[in-house]
């Protein structure tokens, strides 16, 4: 595939590595080349199959609008724009393109969400629950998008219970650790996902771009990862 990778940061550079290993042709664009969207004109996008975005909340919506209007498929890993999900879905449907997004492109984390969903049954049996998340000290947002996704999954599975409390820690270079602890008067259950590197995000995003080739529609990765 001909991939355009937006963002040369911590995750974007790994996406470039994985894409090269999987024999895709890649062009990677950072903020210097795309500060005002100048890398996303129809001319520059000609010949690109799919755009993968790991940039930042302040520019991701402009990137999405330019690429979808140019009828390009997109895989969007950047977070912080989900209040606009309905508007983006309508844009994608209007332009008949393919689009996959996720706060977390790791297959392991998505499997963990399924496990948490099953474990929510404890909340109907005298257990209380808490969510803990740890990330590197440079991470700006708290709680993490993944912790919020865990909280939402548990609430959907046990709607009589209030949202579980999330406690966030920011320290050192922790890639991403999420724990759910259920506690009853008699015992405790611990669920833990500990990311060793960002590589699983990059692999998930590139394999999603492969899956999306020739498809149209607006997808959440949680409904797609089993098919990769």
Ligand X SMILES: NC(=O)c1ccc[n+]([C@@H]2O[C@H](COP(=O)([O-])OP(=O)(O)OC[C@H]3O[C@@H](n4cnc5c(N)ncnc54)[C@H](OP(=O)(O)O)[C@@H]3O)[C@@H](O)[C@H]2O)c1
Axis crossing angle, helix 10-21 with helix 199-212, rounded to the nearest 10: 60
Distance CA 192, CA 37 (A): 39
Q: Which two tokens mark 151? A: 């909280």
Residue 129 as a binder of ligand X (CB under 6 A): the answer is no
The residues near 162 (Cβ < 8 Å, ≥ 6 apart) are: 155
Length in residues, the chain: 228
CB 185, min distance to ligand X, A: 38
Residue 104 as a binder of ligand X (CB under 6 A): the answer is yes
Q: Which residues pair with 29 in a beta bridge?
A: 6
Nearer to ligand X, 36 or 186 (CB): 36
Residue 199 as a binder of ligand X (CB under 6 A): the answer is no
User: With contacts defined by CB under 6 A, how many residues of the chain interact with ligand X?
Assistant: 26
Sign for the CA dihedral angle at 123, 125, 126, 127 comes to negative
CB 137, min distance to ligand X, A: 13
Q: Which residues pair with 81 in a beta bridge?
A: none
The C-alpha torsion from 74 through 80 and 86 to 87, rounded to 10°, is -70
Site string for ligand X, 59-88 (x = CB under 6 A): x-----------------xxxx--------
Write down the catalytic residue from 139, 155, 161, 222. Answer: 139
Nearer to ligand X, 4 or 123 (CB): 4
Residue 7 as a binder of ligand X (CB under 6 A): the answer is yes
CB 171, min distance to ligand X, A: 16
Residue 139 bears catalytic tag: yes
Residue 135 bears catalytic tag: yes
């Amino acid at each position: 595939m001909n991939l355009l990778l937006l963002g040369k940061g911590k995750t974007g550079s790994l996406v470039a590595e994985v894409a090269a290993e999987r024999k895709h042709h890649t062009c990677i664009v950072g903020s210097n080349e795309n500060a005002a969207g100048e890398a996303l004109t129809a001319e520059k996008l000609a010949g690109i199959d799919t755009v993968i975005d790991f940039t930042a909340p302040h520019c991701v919506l402009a990137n999405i609008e330019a690429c979808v209007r140019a009828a390009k498929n997109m895989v969007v890993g950047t977070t912080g724009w989900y209040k606009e999900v309905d508007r983006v879905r309508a844009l994608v449907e209007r332009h008949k393109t393919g689009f996959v997004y996720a706060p977390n492109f790791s297959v392991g984390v998505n499997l963990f969400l399924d496990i948490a969903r099953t474990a929510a049954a404890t909340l109907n049996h005298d257990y209380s629950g808490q969510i803990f998340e740890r990330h590197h000290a440079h991470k700006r947002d708290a709680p993490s998008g993944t912790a919020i996704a865990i909280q939402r999954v548990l609430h959907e599975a046990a709607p009589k219970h209030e949202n579980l409390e999330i406690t966030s820690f920011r320290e050192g270079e922790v890639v991403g650790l999420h724990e759910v602890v259920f506690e009853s008067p008699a015992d405790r259950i611990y669920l833990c996902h500990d990311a060793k590197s960002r590589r699983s995000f990059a692999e998930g995003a590139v394999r999603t771009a492969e899956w999306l080739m020739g498809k149209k529609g607006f997808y959440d990765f949680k409904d797609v990862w089993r098919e990769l």
